Amino acid sequence: TAPIHVVGGGLAGSEAAWQIAQAGVPVVIHEMRPVRGTPAHQTDKLAELVCSNSFRADDWAGNAVGLLHAEMRKLGSIIMASGDAHQVPAGGALAVDREGFSAAVTEKLLSHPLVTVSREEVAGLPPAEWDSVIVATGPLTSPALSEAILELTGEGQLAFFDAIAPIVHLESIDMDVAWRQSRYDKEGPGGDAAAYINCPMSREQYEAFIDALLAGEKSEFKDWEQVPYFDGCLPIEVMAERGRETLRHGPMKPVGLTNIHKPDEKPWAVVQLRQDNALGTLWNMVGFQTKLKHGAQTEIFRTIPGLEKAVFARLGGLHRNTFINSPRLLDRQLRMKAQPRLRFAGQVTGVEGYVESAAVGLLAGRFAAAERLGRPIDPPPVTTALGALIGHITGGHLDAGAGSFQPMNINYGLLPPIAPPKRAEDGRRLGAKEKSRIKKRLVGERALADLETWVNGASTLAAAE
Ligand code: FAD
């Protein structure tokens, strides 16, 4: 069998290649690192995590990304298996030791008999003799390839910026001021209810901090103002610009936490840090992505109580994001309509996040392998998180003008809703919170059942697993 070519060995490319190889089809991964780098990657490992080490909430019954985790696990995802094997404590989230995680993915792929890894940049359209290609080159697709894609599609490419949160050495945090606790003492994967380090702020300290953020020197970007930010990854200074209370209701909210050093004093705001490596020596400042200049970051972040002597392993930064207008360009098999030998996967298709990128890689890999084996499969139903993601990138936006399609994380809004029961089993009327909790669980149960049906029925690949 002729191999399928996967361009880019990131989250999506690694997952796609794994699915193809597991289906019994040979695959070549073309990864440009370390021959050529990107502005964010720092290693030559496959599936490198460029920023946070979190795959977010891991609860299939209560969170959409947790549901996506569960579906991917059912389909033998290499990203989920390696994440599970290298998790670090993180409250109700799945966070991973970044080095252990990427090393595991790299090792598994390199040792698979059907996988070849070629370290080279694909610096233009893939050669015509590659009859089945998955382009998974991510938000930092090399300029030569993005120009070629642009030329092929004729569509405008949308570029915007994300922001990296700073990482602090544990030993430099003053634990006489800071304390360990997860919000509401929620237990993480290892049963750890103290997965976060918390730094408390009084009202005066918070107000001074906001002033400093607003005044701090920022990196200049000409087209910054046209950047279509997506909520959930706003730079802190942009949040502060939106209102002095915004941070206190966002990443710095003081709820569900009690300062063990001063139990009677309610903090006005709290900065949280989450473990970033297995050793527990590095901690990242949750939600503190920023475009402040490095000097300003060091100065301002050291005004946070507990971080006065912080030593930063990495400061916050910015990055570009490249994605195509998928609803117009791709079919439901993720093939480019204008050139169906080319499939797209990962963040470049307009999903957002490590897990979502890997999820689209998983589907692209399965579609390509099934096609190669002469037994094409349908996408999973929209009632599954995987089907909902495909729906987001390939459907529903066809009539929208270019530029209106925006990247999105998986969320319940993409899945068809289920009406919750009005009453509990004991006849009691259910409150709004209870209803919402039940609704999420029902959506999760339906998704996992429908995915099972899809695997058994449509997916001829199941037999090869
Ligand atoms: P990548 O993982 O970037 O993989 C693409 C690969 O293609 C890279 O290895 C690259 O070297 C290679 N490549 C590029 N061009 C070529 C070429 N022409 N030839 C050969 N190889 C090529 N998501 C989160 O969930 N959490 C975060 O904290 C987070 N932070 C981010 C921070 C930054 C700086 C950026 C840019 C994105 C961030 N994202 C984050 C978004 C996104 O989920 C990740 O970028 C994710 O890695 C995307 O997966 P991917 O496989 O699509 O791309």
DSSP structure string for 148-183: HHHHHH-PPPEEEEEEEPPEEEGGGS-TTT-EE--G
Query: Out of 58-72, 341-355, 446-460, which region has the weakest mean confidence (pLDDT)?
Result: 446-460
Whether the pTM exceeds 0.80: the reply is no
Least confident of 189-193, 369-373, 408-412: 189-193
pLDDT band at 465; cut points 50, 70, 90: very low
Distance 41 CA to ligand 1 centre (A): 8
Contact 6, 352 (CB under 8 A): no
Average pLDDT of 127-148? 94
Instruction: Place 463 in a pLDDT band, splitting at 50, 70 and 90.
Output: very low
- The terminus-to-terminus CA distance of the chain in angstroms comes to 18
Q: Which of 15, 18, 32, 323, when mutated, tests ligand 1's pocket best, judged by the most ligand atoms within 8 Å of its CB? A: 32
Ligand 1 centroid distance, CA of 140 (Å): 6
Q: Report CA(40)–ligand 1 centroid distance (Å).
A: 8
Considering Cα of 384, then 139, then 113, then 27, what sign does the dihedral take? positive
Centroid of ligand 1 to alpha carbon of 344 (angstroms): 14
Lowest-confidence segment of 77-81, 349-353, 398-402 by average pLDDT: 398-402
Q: Nearest to residue 16, comparing CAs of 382, 377, 357? A: 357
| DSSP-based three-state secondary structure for 440 | helix
Ligand 1 atom with minimal separation from the 356 CA: 43
SS (H, E, C) 116-128: EEEECCCCCCCCC
ipTM: 0.99
> Ligand 1: distance of its center to the CA of 229 in Å?
17
CA distances from 147 to 7, 155, 157, 322, 356 (A): 15, 11, 9, 11, 25
Q: What is the whole-number distance in angstroms between the Cα of residue 34 and the centre of ligand 1?
A: 14
Top pLDDT among 209 and 388 is at 209
Q: Would you state the structure tokens that stand for residue 37, as one six-digit string?
A: 């780098």
Nearest CA owner, ligand 1 atom 42? 353
* Mean pLDDT (the chain, rounded): 88
Q: Which atom of ligand 1 is nearest to the CA of 165?
A: 28
SS3 assignment, position 9: coil
Instruction: Look at residue 163 in the predicted model and tell me its pLDDT.
Output: 58
- Position 188 scores a pLDDT of 62
Confidence at residue 80, expressed as pLDDT on a 0 to 100 scale? 98
Residue type, 427: G
Nearest CA to ligand 1 atom 41: 353
The pLDDT of residue 226 is 47
Strands 4-7 and 27-31: parallel
User: How much is the pLDDT for 169?
Assistant: 87
> What does the pLDDT average to over 283-303?
93
Phi, psi of 451 (to 5 degrees): -65, -40
Q: H helices within 272-384, ranges in order?
A: 294-301, 326-329, 354-372
User: Looking at the predicted structure, is the pLDDT value of residue 110 above 90?
Assistant: yes
Predicted confidence at residue 277, as pLDDT, reads 66
Place 415 in a pLDDT band, splitting at 50, 70 and 90: confident
What residues are in contact with ligand 1 under a 6 Å CB criterion?
Answer: 7-13, 30-33, 38, 40-41, 50-52, 121-122, 136-142, 145, 162, 164, 319, 321, 346-348, 353-354, 357
Distance between Cα 427 and ligand 1 center (Å): 50
The predicted structure's pLDDT at residue 308: 98
Predicted local confidence at residue 154, as pLDDT? 80
- Residue to mutate, 6, 79, 135, 137, ligand 1, most ligand atoms under 8 Å from C-beta: 137
Distance between Cα 12 and ligand 1 center (Å): 8
Check residue 71 and give its pLDDT.
98
What are the pLDDT digits (tens) for 212-244? 999 999 876 644 334 545 555 688 999 999 999
Looking from the CA of residue 52, the nearest atom of ligand 1 is 28
Residue 307 is predicted with a pLDDT of 98
If you average pLDDT over residues 34-63, what whole number do you get?
93
Tens-place pLDDT, residues 164-201: 688 898 989 999 999 999 999 887 656 677 889 999 99
For ligand 1, atom 31: residue with the closest CA: 51
| 11, pLDDT greater than 80 | yes
Q: In this predicted model, what pLDDT tens digit does every residue of 356-365 receive, in sequence order?
A: 999 999 999 9
144-155 mean pLDDT: 85
Pocket test for ligand 1, best of 96, 162, 291, 343 (most atoms within 8 A of CB): 162
**pLDDT for position 40:** 83
Q: Is the pLDDT of residue 456 over 50?
A: yes
Mutate to test the pocket of ligand 1, among 50, 119, 164, 389 (most ligand atoms within 8 A of CB): 50
Query: Residue 100's pLDDT is what?
Result: 97
Residue 458 has a pLDDT of 63
Atom of ligand 1 minimally distant from the CA of 144: 18
Mean pLDDT of 271-282: 79
